[in-house]
Structure formats: C-alpha cells, structure tokens
C-alpha cells in the first residue's frame, strides 16, 4: 500500500528488470525530461496499481479478489513519456 491508499502489487524485480529500468532512465534523460526522484535507479519501486484510495480494512477483500486471478501476464508494446505538469504525451520511438 502506497501513500494516499493506493493498493498495488509490488514484485521482487529481477536483475534484468532493474537493468532495463536503468536503460529507460537513460533514454528519458536524453529527451531533456525532468525525471521525478522516485524513478531514479535505486529508488524506483516497480508496481502494478490495483485500487486507488483503498482503506486498510478493505485490503483483505482486495487481496482475495487479486489472488483469484494471479499470476497476471502482460506484454509491453509501446512506451510513452508523460509530462505530469501539462499532461502532454510523447511516444518513445522504441521500448528501451
């Protein structure tokens, strides 16, 4: 559970995922983007958001629902850089 009640799945990242995130950061930095400190290698927490504004007393019920569908597989087919100040989306030409 993150601040403000955001319930998320947080996997133990593989070394490959950590290395890939480092490559993504390098690509993003070449755009001149101001990267938030939470995305800097060593601070980044990979996660899949499940439910915003979840109260602690709701976690048991949320967990029961999630465990019914785990494991979840996904394929990344595009990447977009989002300027959170303006909402502007810039597609990345490649997935690092």
Give per-residue pLDDT as tens, 34-65: 888 888 888 988 888 888 888 888 888 998 99
Where residue 89 falls among pLDDT bands split at 50, 70, 90?
A: very high
According to DSSP, the residues that pair with 51 across neighbouring strands are 7
- The CA-atom distances, in angstroms, between 31 and each of 36, 90, 94 are 14, 10, 13
Q: What is the pTM of this model?
A: 0.63
């Amino acid at each position: 559970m993150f601040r403000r009640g955001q319930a998320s799945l947080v996997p133990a990242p593989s070394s490959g995922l950590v290395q890939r995130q480092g490559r993504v950061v390098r690509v993003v930095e070449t755009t001149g983007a101001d990267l938030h400190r939470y995305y800097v290698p060593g601070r980044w927490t990979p996660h899949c958001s499940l439910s915003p504004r979840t109260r602690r007393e709701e976690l048991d019920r949320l967990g029961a629902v999630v465990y019914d569908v785990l494991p979840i597989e996904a394929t990344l087919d595009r990447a977009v850089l989002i300027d959170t100040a303006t909402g502007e989306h810039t597609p990345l030409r490649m997935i690092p």
